[in-house]
Structure 1
């Protein structure tokens, strides 16, 4: 491990299944455990130099702006290449539990507060050994919460709030500032920063600032950032004939190799109240979905009536949404969104 000195994140070719999730982020920035693949690389190879390559110059600039210590790849020899093939959504979901357990040992910050948990009589209930529950001192867990660590650890990060009548099963990671209300969350799930989660969630990855705050089932799915899933919206993650799930993205069919796979929902997309998402549905970036049943592939910036979301309206609405979480759309993100719009909508 120590002999790896030069690492390349090669994103010149994005495979079907990842495109909807990598419009404004690298596949290496998708949090599939406590850490992202990029953070995991840095923890595993602290002395290694990381290089990056993307086929779109605007994307490359944006990535390097977010990660200033990473170098642009200009043909240098490397010892290790990180490429999208191993980070397809169904592979990430399948490996989330293992990643969470691996990341406990890699996360130095977690080790600082891992032993500070004290559970008093009358507080929440732990099923299994309490050493597998890691709660940041600033987190708040109400009475009436049940946390089951018999199948894997549960990690509750800083400023998380978990209210009564919630059931949590490991392996599970809940990111900083997230709120969990009256939820049932089963193992193999990771939830990002400042999310709002309720209802039933199982074996899914939810990225930062997304909401699924009401009743409805989300299973074996990967959800981008700034997504809002309305009350009673539900994913199907198993076909009636128990067949292998295939997805369609930009006209290309892809076999997941699994009978259990739900949906992919790209950043800034909104799923209306009571929408039923068929097995393998892919909702791309910036969509507004309100039809009662959705399947197949929905292209970027699709609006309610099938017409495109007007770009200026999308940017205005996105800034308004982000301001509610004290965030701003950076100039490089806005430029990436404009490039995507020009490429996919005005082509």
Structure 2
């Protein structure tokens, strides 16, 4: 059995900031699972990562004399996974556009080498790749369906036991052990609904599939979930949420609208925080690009908020259409916030922004994580310091 190594494509990693500041590309959640979890399941093997040097303490690489390198932005399907696992030694599987999808080798290989010294085999079939941050929510509905089909093919749902909860098309609803659902409406007519282990769906919640909530996730009373939404493990969500991905351990526990958006881990949105996801003139949304350090056209009419790990918004915060918030930001105050709020910023559009002192940011992150019984150690602090250094460098350019 080869060692499965999920590599960061250098170009895609930059396009997927701010989420890839604090994780490998394959750590991104799209659908029910992260990309790494999808490949581990398909390959029936643990995976490791080839990523940025400052991330390797937390996300190490394990290589041997039989290595299968897989593009960490690639979403597996049955046919693609079969081709990747059967790739001969010394071969690279590439797309018709020349993207490296997978490499099988006895020796060490790095993504920057491309297909040098390898025999290239072109993959002709369609496939799903997370190339841009907006693909995370754009592909989420289809990935929920794909992950759901994989789950129901090997396991059985415990079913809905609450007599006051109504299901439309209950055969499309999968409930894990320990989940609690009270007096809610689950509509799976247009897509499956997955309720993770020990999740809590509180009274009056209304859910339209495709939808997934991870282990110990919570929907607050009266939550309105529109299609293509994922609430990651140990997250709490309330209000109205549509076509969003919450990676995990994040809170949007109160009323307010979140649409066509992605939240990283350890984020918190204060009560009545809202985002716009549609411009009044219905033109394409432009989003801050870390690749060019300027606004870039997404080609989308609907695009909301992208928020990196450890960032927080005060009560009644308003985010513009197509806003990017970096890592460890504390944003608050009246009026719409800036379209791009760099990592380690403190303040708001009306009050002005200043630098978030690193010692204070670390103390807050440590407290946030510790409250959930999760360790925040030297590896996490070193990652945060590396992100700060990158942010300072970008600001100086």
State the TM bucket, normalised to the shorter chain.
0.7 to 0.9
8 Å CA contact retained: 1:29, 1:38: yes
Structure 2 equivalent of residue 322 of structure 1:
369
Q: 1:336 to 1:158 in 2, by over 3 A?
A: same
Q: Is 1:81 the counterpart of 2:101 in the alignment?
A: yes
Distance 1:173 1:237 in 2: 21
Distance 1:342 1:295 in 2: 22
Q: CA deviation at 1:37?
A: 1.4
Q: 1:93 to 1:184 in 2, by over 3 A?
A: same
Q: Is 1:168 the counterpart of 2:165 in the alignment?
A: no
Deviation string, structure 1 residues 265-299 (Cα, Å, up to 9, x no partner): 11111111111100001010000111321131111
Structure 2 equivalent of residue 222 of structure 1:
262
1:176-191 to structure 2, matched below 5 A, reads 176-181=215-220, 182-191=222-231
Structure 1 range deviating more: 303-312 or 202-211: 303-312
Distance 1:171 1:184 in 2: 13
Deviation string, structure 1 residues 103-150 (Cα, Å, up to 9, x no partner): 123348x84342x21445x320112x211011113011112x111001
1:147-296 to structure 2, matched below 5 A, reads 147-181=186-220, 182-250=222-290, 251-292=293-334, 293-296=336-339
8 Å CA contact retained: 2:6, 2:26: no
Q: Is 1:64 the counterpart of 2:64 in the alignment?
A: no
Q: 1:92 to 1:261 in 2, by over 3 A?
A: same
Asked which structure has the greater RCO (Cα within 8 Å, sep 6+), the reply is 1
Structure 2 counterpart SS, 1:338: helix
Structure 1 range deviating more: 227-236 or 8-17: 8-17
Distance 2:68 2:378 in 1: 20
Q: CA deviation at 1:8?
A: 5.0
Q: 1:85 to 1:253 in 2, by over 3 A?
A: farther
Distance 1:261 1:16 in 2: 19
Q: CA deviation at 1:46?
A: 3.5
Q: May I ask how many residue pairs the two structures share in their alignment?
A: 336
Q: 1:183 to 1:24 in 2, by over 3 A?
A: same
TM normalised by structure 1 equals 0.88
Q: Is 1:90 the counterpart of 2:90 in the alignment?
A: no
Structure 1 counterpart SS, 2:345: coil
Distance 2:338 2:359 in 1: 28
Structure 2 equivalent of residue 311 of structure 1:
358
Structure 1 equivalent of residue 144 of structure 2:
100
Distance 2:145 2:273 in 1: 30
8 Å CA contact retained: 1:178, 1:196: yes
Q: CA deviation at 1:151?
A: 0.5
Q: 1:51 to 1:133 in 2, by over 3 A?
A: closer
Structure 1 equivalent of residue 115 of structure 2:
none
Q: CA deviation at 1:16?
A: 5.3
Distance 2:67 2:33 in 1: 21
Structure 1 range deviating more: 13-22 or 200-209: 13-22
Unaligned runs of 5+ in 2: 70-89, 94-99, 103-110, 112-127
Structure 1 counterpart SS, 2:258: strand
Structure 1 range deviating more: 276-285 or 298-307: 298-307
Q: 1:5 to 1:339 in 2, by over 3 A?
A: closer
Distance 1:68 1:103 in 2: 28
8 Å CA contact retained: 1:279, 1:295: no
User: What RMSD, in angstroms, separates the aligned Cα atoms of the two structures?
Assistant: 2.9
Structure 1 equivalent of residue 17 of structure 2:
19
Which is higher, the Rg of structure 1 or of structure 2? 2
Distance 1:155 1:172 in 2: 6
Q: 1:141 to 1:6 in 2, by over 3 A?
A: closer
8 Å CA contact retained: 1:210, 1:228: yes
Distance 1:216 1:294 in 2: 16
